[in-house]
Structure 1
Amino acid sequence: MDFARLTAKLPYLGWNQQQQSAWRDGLKTMSRSALAIFSWGVVTGLAMGKSVLSTEQALAMTLFVFAGSAQLAALPLIGAGFSVFTILITAFIVNLRFVIFSIGVQAHFSHLPAWRRAILGYFTADFGYLMYTSRFPEVQAVTERKKDSHYRTHFMYGLATGNWGIWQAGSILGILGASQIPDDWGMEFAGTLALIAVIVPMLDHRAARWAAIVAAIVAILTYSLPLKLNLTVAILAAIVVGVLADRSPKAMR
């Protein structure tokens, strides 16, 4: 009896069949991008494995930070002996896009307790956000949410589980295998190419395409800004252009 009560409180084991099906659906959806996520994780792991970090430090970084772009941005600063404040500010700026992601899905999960939203916030990354909003662009009504037993929430759990698991598998493999990879292999571009291959097909409407074009141009033109501020400027420009294009159906064709 005690064992049954314990399992009823555990993730997945304590869910009903509809919730378990939603989780598996999310996991299956995320698995379609497994190669890109795994490749990006391996490249990041290789960078950490070849940095000044020890193996233990690199493993801790991938498990607790879970932000590839921020990790790659922080590594040269750590190696150059920059202050902790500078490293944290740089990571914060690089990760500003997650604030945009949070705003985009906040209404979808506002019914959850704060601690669950915090956990989901940690596990939600680029792929999870894009896949969820593509699948469910509109916020679900309260009555519909109760009727389908929070299907969307558990679908997001599946996306997050798949993304985190695939990423960590690649990153840990890269960290442990870094010493076996010659520096002249040019692996630093593999993750970027993998991301491009996934993101380009998602630019399936005009507003998204204009936002991507403007973001690329602005990021290049402002590349000389310190602390990777060009990424922040590019994100803000993309948001403005995307909103304007979405609100003006006859403009920017």
Structure 2
Amino acid sequence: MPEQTPATARSAFLEGAREISVLVPGIFPFGMVAGISAMQAGLTPLQAFGGSLFIFAGASQLVAYELIGNAAPVLLIVLAALTVNLRFLLYSTALAPLMAPLPLRLRALCAYIMTDQAYAFGYRRWTEHPERPFPQAYYMGAALPLLATWLSSTVAGILLGSGVPDEWGLQFAVPLCFIAILVPAVKDRATLAAALVGGSVAIMLGGLPWKLSLLIGALCGIMAGVLLSARPTAKEPGNA
């Protein structure tokens, strides 16, 4: 049966929400880990919820909470969070032509609700199915449910605190979420190099204090990807 094309922005929004729903079960424990980590770092419940509301970036939140709990310098905490979030600059640049027709308030909303998952779904739908209308509505339909899931799961983590049994295995939720994002994203030599170099450096430097291995690994991965993408691709044999 041919795929039905959404006739309205509302139907495209619902399409995005429906397709992103498969990731919600993995996002919820991720958000719980963020809430629990914030409480264990010494934040108040209001501060922990504010982190998810105003930052809304799980990886950088976890890095920041880890550093806060280890009494790291404020400058290092900010630098680490910004480094982890550098990928959103690339995401925003890639989606800028898509969002350009929207008014400023909606472009700001789309920037705020951007996540790895929403970007991946929205960009794929826009580039692989350009004939399907209302890609902006689809993107928002994919992104907003993740925001609601993130905030509600953070509250659950705050309420549970450290009372979550180890048998639940919540510590595996974060790496599993990022593995699910990373594997489809590796489509060329540059992204493969960034993933391999960044991960390898972070593992090798795992003994450094204040989780500096993550910061250094991220920087090395970014540099590897940029350097490789800047190199001209080799010409195929027989081509002039």
TM-score, with normalisation over the residues of structure 1?
A: 0.75
| 1:194 maps onto 2:181 in alignment | no
2:55 & 2:143 partners in 1: Cα distance?
15
| Partner of residue 80 from structure 2, selected from 83, 90, 103 | 90
| 1:230 maps onto 2:213 in alignment | no
2:65 & 2:77 partners in 1: Cα distance?
9
Where structure 1 has 5 or more consecutive residues not aligned to the other structure, the ranges are 1-16
Q: Aligned-pair distance for 1:19?
A: 1.1
Q: Deviations over 1:37-86 (max 9, x none)?
A: 12211222221132211112111111111111111111133234444333
2:182 & 2:213 partners in 1: Cα distance?
26
2:221 & 2:33 partners in 1: Cα distance?
24
Does the CA contact (< 8 Å) of 1:40 and 1:195 recur in 2?
no
Q: Aligned-pair distance for 1:206?
A: 4.8
Does the CA contact (< 8 Å) of 1:23 and 1:154 recur in 2?
yes
Q: Aligned-pair distance for 1:162?
A: 1.5
2:27 is matched with 37
Letter matched to residue 107 of structure 2: R
Q: Aligned-pair distance for 1:217?
A: 3.6
Letter matched to residue 172 of structure 2: F
| 1:28 maps onto 2:11 in alignment | no
2:146 is matched with 163
1:241 & 1:218 partners in 2: Cα distance?
17
| Partner of residue 114 from structure 2, selected from 110, 124, 132 | 124
Where structure 2 has 5 or more consecutive residues not aligned to the other structure, the ranges are 1-6
CA RMSD of aligned residues (A): 3.3
Q: Deviations over 1:8-57 (max 9, x none)?
A: xxxxxxxxx70110110111111111122122112222211322111121
TM-score, with normalisation over the residues of structure 2?
A: 0.78
Q: Deviations over 1:192-248 (max 9, x none)?
A: 123324543x25745555654454345445666667132122134235546769x66
Residue pairs, 1:1-253, within 5 angstroms? 18-137=8-127, 148=133, 151-182=134-165, 187-200=170-183, 202-203=184-185, 205-207=187-189, 209=192, 212-217=195-200, 219-220=202-203, 228-241=215-228
- The alpha-carbon distance between structure 1 residues 249 and 191, as it changes in their structure 2 partners (threshold 3 A), is farther
- The alpha-carbon distance between structure 1 residues 191 and 210, as it changes in their structure 2 partners (threshold 3 A), is same
* Percent identity (aligned): 31
- The alpha-carbon distance between structure 1 residues 240 and 221, as it changes in their structure 2 partners (threshold 3 A), is farther
Letter matched to residue 218 of structure 2: L
1:248 & 1:25 partners in 2: Cα distance?
41
